[in-house]
Amino acid sequence: MKPLIVPFFISHQGCPHKCVFCDQERISGQSSGLPATAEVLETIERFAASAVGRPLEVAFYGGTFTSLPRGEQDRLLAPLQPLIAKGRVASVRLSTRPDSVDDDTARFLAARGVTTVELGVQSMDGEVLESAGRGHGAAHVERAFASLGNAGVAVGAQLMPGLPGDTPEKSLESLDRVLALGPACLRIYPTVVLAGTRLADLWRSGSYSPLGLDDAVSLCGAMLRRCLAASVPVIRIGLQPTEELERPGTILAGPWHPAFRQLVESELFRGLLERLAMDVPAGSGIEVACSPRRISDVAGQHRCNLSRLREKFGIVVRRITGDNRLHPYDLEISCSGKIIAGSVLD
Ligand code: SF4
């Protein structure tokens, strides 16, 4: 059963850097210091009351957890210990920088019941990391993966295609290098320009151009396909919409869309529909079957995938039906009694 996340946002706490793109408070919509012990316990209790049987996962997001003084890390994790022992908290996740994890840190986290650490990898390309002001290299990522893996802690990775100096090829190469390290999950955040960041100055001066929305969707689609092929879950694509993020003047430029992931999923189905349509005579009417929860992704926003089939192939989709037999990334097209099947993963 999917865990219910109990989130604590510790924006910029512990962070020894200021990456060119970062404004954690705007990204999370939270402005906060470190939560007091009582607040941690109260929040967990509040979420437990609505968990209805779901396991609880405590998550410390934002900031660089393992750059906090060890005493502060301990203070945040200590109240969880009796709850973990009693099974009331099933798992603990936190995010940090790759260069803030070594063997000792990994063993400390494992001993305090941390089950997953998400590393802000962003890129595995040295030049891109330097241009982004990350202050670490790809070797730090590899070492952090090894330390955490040896301590028995699962590792997630965050990637940011479209940073200064990045290209689609570099983004895909970074992804491949991360996938080779065996991540438990991935988050993909195409770079957007937030007000008040150094990236905003670079963008204003004309020395940085973010990805356009269509290019970002297409690149993230290619990244998602590689993750699916490697059986690595992608738990987020695109920044989560928050009131702060959506306030006019917060995002200055870049491939922002409140339903970015849906655009990406729809793009994958558009590609599959077009591949399958090659075997359908122009002018045909077809029916499409897919997993029931994929119907809107298959149709695309404003039914754009269906319009595209009509314009490009002269094919009219008469109906899309949900079929529980089908895998979430499979489709079947029926045309004149013939069934043509395929998968986004083919
Ligand atoms: S290390 Fe993380 S929290 Fe710190 S500035 Fe960079 S992205 Fe933001």
Q: Is residue 263 part of a domain?
A: no
Asked whether residue 279 falls in the same domain as residue 244, the answer is: no
Please count the CA atoms within 13 angstroms of the CA of 270 that sit on its side-chain side. 22
Asked whether residue 248 falls in the same domain as residue 273, the answer is: no
Q: Is residue 232 part of a domain?
A: yes
The pLDDT tens digits for 219-246 are: 999 999 999 999 999 999 999 998 888 8
| Residue with the larger pLDDT of the pair 63 and 255 | 255
Q: How far is the CA of 21 from the centre of ligand 1 (A)?
A: 8
Amino acid at 224: L
Q: Is residue 304 part of a domain?
A: yes
Pocket-testing residue among 9, 12, 17, ligand 1, by greatest number of atoms within 8 A of Cβ: 17
Contact of 317 with 289, CB cutoff 8 Å: no
Contact of 260 with 297, CB cutoff 8 Å: no
CATH number at residue 42: 3.20.20.70
Asked whether residue 302 falls in the same domain as residue 245, the answer is: no
Is the pLDDT reported for residue 30 higher than 80? no
Is the pLDDT reported for residue 324 higher than 70? yes
Confidence of residue 1 (pLDDT cuts 50, 70, 90): confident
Is the pLDDT reported for residue 13 higher than 80? no
Task: Choose among 264, 269, 214: nearest CA to 237.
Answer: 264
Asked whether residue 213 falls in the same domain as residue 98, the answer is: yes
Please count the CA atoms within 13 angstroms of the CA of 18 that sit on its side-chain side. 6
Contact of 11 with 49, CB cutoff 8 Å: no
Instruction: Report residue 245 as tokens.
Output: 């993020």
Residue 15 CB less than 6 A away from ligand 1: yes
- In total, how many domains does the chain have? 2
**Single residue among 258, 286, 318 that ends a domain in this structure:** 258
Collect all residues with Cβ–Cβ distance below 8 Å to 303 and sequence separation of at least 6.
none
Mean pLDDT of the chain: 94
Asked whether residue 324 falls in the same domain as residue 233, the answer is: no
Percent of the chain predicted with pLDDT > 90: 86
Residue for token pair 């319009």 = 307
Asked whether residue 229 falls in the same domain as residue 331, the answer is: no
Asked whether residue 277 falls in the same domain as residue 230, the answer is: no
Mean pLDDT of the region 93-113? 97
Question: What's 33's DSSP letter?
Answer: -
Asked whether residue 288 falls in the same domain as residue 202, the answer is: no
Q: Is residue 141 part of a domain?
A: yes
**Helices first, then strands: H and E counts in the chain:** 14, 13
Residue 17 sits in which domain range?
Answer: 4-258
Asked whether residue 122 falls in the same domain as residue 243, the answer is: yes
Mean pLDDT of the region 172-196? 97
**What is the residue-wise DSSP string for 222-247?**
HHHHHHHHTT--EEEESPPP-HHHHS
Asked whether residue 337 falls in the same domain as residue 191, the answer is: no
Question: Which residue's C-alpha comes closest to atom 6 of ligand 1?
Answer: 19
Pocket-testing residue among 19, 25, 28, ligand 1, by greatest number of atoms within 8 A of Cβ: 19
**Single residue among 258, 281, 311 that ends a domain in this structure:** 258
Asked whether residue 276 falls in the same domain as residue 233, the answer is: no
Q: Is residue 156 part of a domain?
A: yes
Is the pLDDT reported for residue 103 higher than 90? yes
**Single residue among 258, 276, 297 that ends a domain in this structure:** 258
Confidence of residue 141 (pLDDT cuts 50, 70, 90): very high
Confidence of residue 18 (pLDDT cuts 50, 70, 90): confident
Asked whether residue 253 falls in the same domain as residue 272, the answer is: no
Question: Which residue's C-alpha comes closest to atom 5 of ligand 1?
Answer: 18
Per-residue HEC secondary structure of 305-339 comes to: HHHHHHHHHCCEEEEEEECCCCCCCEEEEEECCEE
**CB atoms inside a 10 Å sphere around CB 27:** 22
